[in-house]
Chain A
Amino acid sequence: MEASNLALFWAGVIAVAILVYVILDGFDLGVGVLFGTTRDEAHRAQMMDTIAPFWDGNETWLVVIGAGLFAAFPVVYAVFLGAFYIPVLLLLFGLIFRGIAFEFRYRSDRMRWLWDWGFCVGSTVVAFVQGAAVGAMMKGIPVANGQYAGGALVWFAPFPILTGIGLVLGYALLGAGWLVLKSEGELREWAYRRIPWLAGGVLAVLLLAFGVTFDFGVIARSNLQGRPWGLMFPAVGVLALVGMFVGARRKHDVLPFAMTVLFFLAAYLTLGTMFWPYMVPYDITVANAAAPEESLSFLFYGAGIFVLPVIAIYTIGVYWVFRGKVRKGYG
């Protein structure tokens, strides 16, 4: 069965939304992870300032993904949320606590420790469960009759746990790159010092994950075999890691963040090559999952041609308004 143009359009929208989400919320979640590794109040306040205008808008993309999946690919929405029942629960709690902590730490000193703790732990949990879900997807999601057909802890196996840790470190790397990009003085130096260690950590976890715990049997089920050119993406990823080291050594403020984004893009395209045209690997394809054309077109003429451009313009607008280094906070 061939996927219709509308189905491809919505699959493309969701694919782009996932990438944008991972990079944008990735850096602010990463700043949250790094937040827990310093006790310096000046650093912490400055870290918050670098993400204040962005973090909540970044999470909009998660809503786009969720709403898009439910509306355009309901079976994928049902299978994923069933398979990742507990990770989704943890994700929601992490986002809630992080959001509240963000708003209230400014206004609190007696209870600030609680908000600080909530911000760091919330960010880390969100990053971890997202990474674990990706790891579980690579292993394949069991499906029967259009519903998830496995247990609640499929994501809690050695390989997904390692990919979860990998994403925590990966987001922290994005966060460190963002801090370098947006801050000055001591915090910038502090973030620079962490980049080589985090990049090394990501590499080590990935090597451990694929070297020790990965079952290469699933490669046979995936589409990587038929697409040997897909191996160029991991190669680009390695080059991007090298670029991060170079950027950190030469103190080039844009390079570490740009290279981390390239690294994420390479990882994302690797996964895309493995999975396409599956939406739920390795059972449900884009064509199988698509809602009826009547649903897709109803969605297209409102959300597709009107709402999505506004979301894109809003996102670009916010980043434009708050561009450049954070000096005395945004006012």
Chain B
Amino acid sequence: MHLDPVILSRIQFAFVVSFHIIFPAFTIGLAAWLATIEGARLATGNPIYRRVFDFWLKVFAVSFGMGVVTGIVMAFQFGTNWGVLAERMGSIQGPLLGYEGFTAFMLEATFFGVMLLGRERVSPRFYFFACCMVSLGTMFSSFWILANNSWMQVPVGYSIVDGRIIPADWWAITTGPIMRVRWPHMLLAAFLTTGMCVIATGAWYVLRGMHRAEAREMLHWGLGLVAVLIPVQLFVGHLTGEYVLKHQPAKFAAIEARWKSQQPASEVLIAIPDPANERNLFAIEVPKLGSFIASGSWTSREVGLEEFPPEDRPPVVIPFFTFRIMVGMGLVMLAVSWLGNFLRWQGRLETTRWFLWCAFASFPAGFIAVLSGWFTAEVGRQPWVVYGLLRTKDAVTPSLTTGDVLFSLIAYVAVYAVFISFGIYYIYKLLREGPTAEATPVRGATAKRPMAFADDAETATGATVRIEG
């Protein structure tokens, strides 16, 4: 691979955004989970919900903090490395991403503060209301990110005046048909990600014979939620595929590794795409299924990559595999949640250790699905950064040299290796200890400092003696 500022900037963006997305995906789900469990406590008065809530609140605080910090890095990437994109598309992307930053602020400054600091200071009903608002706030935050990205996938609602991109219809930009399927797809992905983590955590405690009452709640709620949501997600995912077929046929062909147009088209289940010779090696194909998946007909003609000029074709290998990994993870979630509910119905859930091990091991299924799904969407959009309007190779900051970007990429990898691994280790420690104590803030804590609430897991910070202030 020839290194230049474009490819290095792409790798850098992929690197920092991949480490960012895992935290928001987790926190969107966690916020909804916390609101649900607080609602259940309010309805039943069962003290176990309070212990479960306080435990997950600490995990939420740490991952929220990690999400904010890695998100600030993202806010600068568009300007540092993608200067032409920022300058040309800033009239639309700037306000969308700006609103995301403002939304995150509003959330922290208001209801998140109540959630972290206000348990004793407000009525239980208002506290529950604050939890719901935080959950809505995290979803609203993702709304702006998805509006921005959906516009990059299928630009709508703009006009070009004197070569400048002018926003003509904000309603279309923020709530267009693409956005209406992609945002739910992401929200469901976030709920499933967290659901799998809650299931895995419960399974872990049962396997280790600890926190049994709390673990049972986590298993029941998590398995129930994932079992219901996964079919919905498969359906919404299918709708997402329809927009790709309609608006980005080259991406669709790349995902299917369909080099030549076919009628009827077969479905490549698995293969090793060989881009140099435009063919698939070791392919396992199902005749006619490709037409059915794309168009709902067994005989339709489906376009192959050959119909697009070489300079307009996306890479094939990455979207082909990441899409299949995403779908595979969906099937893992389906299997775990439905089997889990079956065992629960049979009354054997907490004694079937092999299943608990499987459930524990599938904790990253949601994260892997989110990452591979985003890789499919973003790599498949190439060679465009804003589909049809601006090519990725023309979007990079012109003053950057290969050395500049190599330096920053190595620096990001080094800093993130320390920072992210520490954050993940910290969350791991919290999860391993489990629901032990109430969540209590340290002095001087505000909602702007969510990390200040994760005051357990002392060993993670290298403490041997707890220092009291």
CB under 8 Å from chain A, chain B span 388-416:
397-401, 404, 407-408, 411-412, 415
User: Which B residues are in CB contact (< 8 Å) with A81?
Assistant: 76, 79-80, 83, 86, 397
User: Which A residues are in CB contact (< 8 Å) with B79?
Assistant: 70, 77-78, 80-82
Q: Is the CB of A82 within 8 A of B72?
A: no
Q: Is the CB of B94 within 8 A of A74?
A: yes
In whole angstroms, how far apart are the Cα atoms of A104 and B458 in the complex? 10
Q: Is the CB of A74 within 8 A of B448?
A: no
Q: Is the CB of B98 within 8 A of A299?
A: yes
Ranked nearest first, the 7 interchain pairs of A and B with the lowest CB-CB distance are A74-B90, A52-B444, A81-B79, A111-B462, A71-B98, A56-B448, A71-B94
Report the minimum CB–CB distance from A117 to chain B (whole Å). 13
CB under 8 Å from chain A, chain B span 170-225:
170
In whole angstroms, how far apart are the Cα atoms of A146 and B451 in the complex? 40
User: Which of A93-101, A173-181, A184-192 interfaces with chain B?
Assistant: A93-101
Q: Is the CB of A295 within 8 A of B92?
A: yes
Q: Is the CB of B461 within 8 A of A303?
A: no
Which of B69, B170, B400, B462 interacts with A108 by CB under 8 Å? B462
User: Which A residues are in CB contact (< 8 Å) with B401?
Assistant: 152
Q: Is the CB of A70 within 8 A of B90?
A: yes
Task: Judge whether A148 is part of the interface by a CB distance below 8 angstroms.
Answer: yes
User: Which A residues are in CB contact (< 8 Å) with B170?
Assistant: 294, 298
Q: Is the CB of A303 within 8 A of B80?
A: no
Task: Judge whether A270 is part of the interface by a CB distance below 8 angstroms.
Answer: no
Task: Judge whether B358 is part of the interface by a CB distance below 8 angstroms.
Answer: no
Q: Is the CB of A96 within 8 A of B87?
A: no
CB under 8 Å from chain B, chain A span 112-154:
112, 145-152
Q: Is the CB of B91 within 8 A of A74?
A: yes
Q: Would you give 15 A-B contacts (Cβ < 8 Å), ordered by A?
A: A49-B443, A67-B102, A70-B90, A74-B86, A74-B94, A81-B397, A82-B83, A86-B407, A102-B449, A103-B65, A108-B461, A109-B465, A112-B462, A292-B91, A294-B168
Task: Judge whether A68 is part of the interface by a CB distance below 8 angstroms.
Answer: yes
User: Which A residues are in CB contact (< 8 Å) with B404?
Assistant: 85-86, 152
Task: Judge whether A22 is part of the interface by a CB distance below 8 angstroms.
Answer: no
Q: Is the CB of B446 within 8 A of A56?
A: yes
Besides the known contacts A81-B86, A110-B462, 5 further A-B residue pairs in the complex with CB atoms under 8 A apart: A49-B443, A52-B444, A100-B451, A103-B451, A329-B469
In whole angstroms, how far apart are the Cα atoms of A274 and B401 in the complex? 31
User: Which B residues are in CB contact (< 8 Å) with A16?
Assistant: none
Task: Judge whether A72 is part of the interface by a CB distance below 8 angstroms.
Answer: yes
In whole angstroms, how far apart are the Cα atoms of A149 and B83 in the complex? 12
* Band of interface residues on B: 35 or more
CB closest chain-B residue, reference A83: B399
In whole angstroms, how far apart are the Cα atoms of A38 and B445 in the complex? 25
Task: Judge whether B84 is part of the interface by a CB distance below 8 angstroms.
Answer: yes
Q: Is the CB of B80 within 8 A of A85?
A: yes
Report the minimum CB–CB distance from A289 to chain B (whole Å). 10
Which of A57, A111, A302, A318 interacts with B461 by CB under 8 Å? A111
Query: B: which residues have CB within 8 A of A?
Result: 65, 69, 72-73, 75-76, 78-80, 83-84, 86-87, 89-95, 97-99, 101-102, 105-106, 109-110, 161, 164, 166-168, 170, 397-401, 404, 407-408, 411-412, 415, 419, 422, 442-446, 448-449, 451-452, 455, 458, 461-467, 469
User: Which of A160-168, A211-219, A255-263, A306-314 interfaces with chain B?
Assistant: A306-314
Q: Is the CB of A57 within 8 A of B446?
A: yes
Task: Judge whether A279 is part of the interface by a CB distance below 8 angstroms.
Answer: no
CB closest chain-B residue, reference A79: B83
Q: Is the CB of B399 within 8 A of A149?
A: yes
In whole angstroms, how far apart are the Cα atoms of A92 and B72 in the complex? 8
Which of A63, A108, A329 interacts with B444 by CB under 8 Å? A329
In whole angstroms, how far apart are the Cα atoms of A181 and B469 in the complex? 21
In whole angstroms, how far apart are the Cα atoms of A21 and B469 in the complex? 29
Report the minimum CB–CB distance from A198 to chain B (whole Å). 25
User: Which B residues are in CB contact (< 8 Å) with A152?
Assistant: 399-401, 404
Report the minimum CB–CB distance from A48 to chain B (whole Å). 8
Task: Judge whether A286 is part of the interface by a CB distance below 8 angstroms.
Answer: no
Which of B65, B94, B419 interacts with A295 by CB under 8 Å? B94
CB closest chain-A residue, reference B100: A67
Report the minimum CB–CB distance from A325 to chain B (whole Å). 14
In whole angstroms, how far apart are the Cα atoms of A110 and B397 in the complex? 43
Q: Is the CB of A310 within 8 A of B469?
A: no
User: Which A residues are in CB contact (< 8 Å) with B444?
Assistant: 49, 52-53, 322, 329-330
Contact with B along A287-303 (1 / 0, CB 8 A): 00001101100110011
Q: A107-B458, A110-B462, A299-B95 are in contact. Are A45 and B469 (CB under 8 A)?
A: yes
Task: Judge whether A88 is part of the interface by a CB distance below 8 angstroms.
Answer: yes
User: Which A residues are in CB contact (< 8 Å) with B455?
Assistant: 107
CB closest chain-B residue, reference A151: B399
Report the minimum CB–CB distance from A313 to chain B (whole Å). 9
Q: Is the CB of B415 within 8 A of A93?
A: yes
Task: Judge whether A210 is part of the interface by a CB distance below 8 angstroms.
Answer: no
User: Which B residues are in CB contact (< 8 Å) with A197?
Assistant: none
CB closest chain-B residue, reference A41: B467
Which of B72, B86, B461, B464 interacts with A70 by CB under 8 Å? B86
User: Which B residues are in CB contact (< 8 Å) with A291?
Assistant: 90-91, 94-95
Q: Is the CB of B461 within 8 A of A298?
A: no
Q: Is the CB of A93 within 8 A of B411?
A: yes
Q: Is the CB of A75 within 8 A of B105?
A: no
CB closest chain-B residue, reference A299: B95
Which of B99, B422, B463 interacts with A303 by CB under 8 Å? B99
CB closest chain-A residue, reference B165: A292
Task: Judge whether A331 is part of the interface by a CB distance below 8 angstroms.
Answer: yes
Q: A77-B79, A77-B94 are in contact. Are A53 and B105 (CB under 8 A)?
A: no
Q: Is the CB of A67 within 8 A of B97?
A: yes
User: Which A residues are in CB contact (< 8 Å) with B465?
Assistant: 109
User: Which A residues are in CB contact (< 8 Å) with B463?
Assistant: 107-110
Q: Is the CB of A88 within 8 A of B446?
A: no
Q: A81-B83, A86-B408 are in contact. Are A71 and B399 (CB under 8 A)?
A: no
User: Which A residues are in CB contact (< 8 Å) with B407?
Assistant: 86
In whole angstroms, how far apart are the Cα atoms of A72 and B93 in the complex? 11
User: Which B residues are in CB contact (< 8 Å) with A230?
Assistant: none
Q: Is the CB of A107 within 8 A of B461?
A: yes
Report the minimum CB–CB distance from B407 to chain A (whole Å). 7
Q: Is the CB of B443 within 8 A of A146?
A: no
Q: Is the CB of A298 within 8 A of B95?
A: yes
Report the minimum CB–CB distance from B357 to chain A (whole Å). 33
Q: Is the CB of B400 within 8 A of A53?
A: no
Which of B72, B415, B419 is packed against the most chain A CB atoms within 10 Å?
Answer: B72
Which of B79, B401, B469 is packed against the most chain A CB atoms within 10 Å?
Answer: B79
Q: Is the CB of B461 within 8 A of A104?
A: yes
Q: Is the CB of B98 within 8 A of A303?
A: yes
Q: Is the CB of A66 within 8 A of B399?
A: no
User: Which A residues are in CB contact (< 8 Å) with B80?
Assistant: 81-82, 85, 88-89
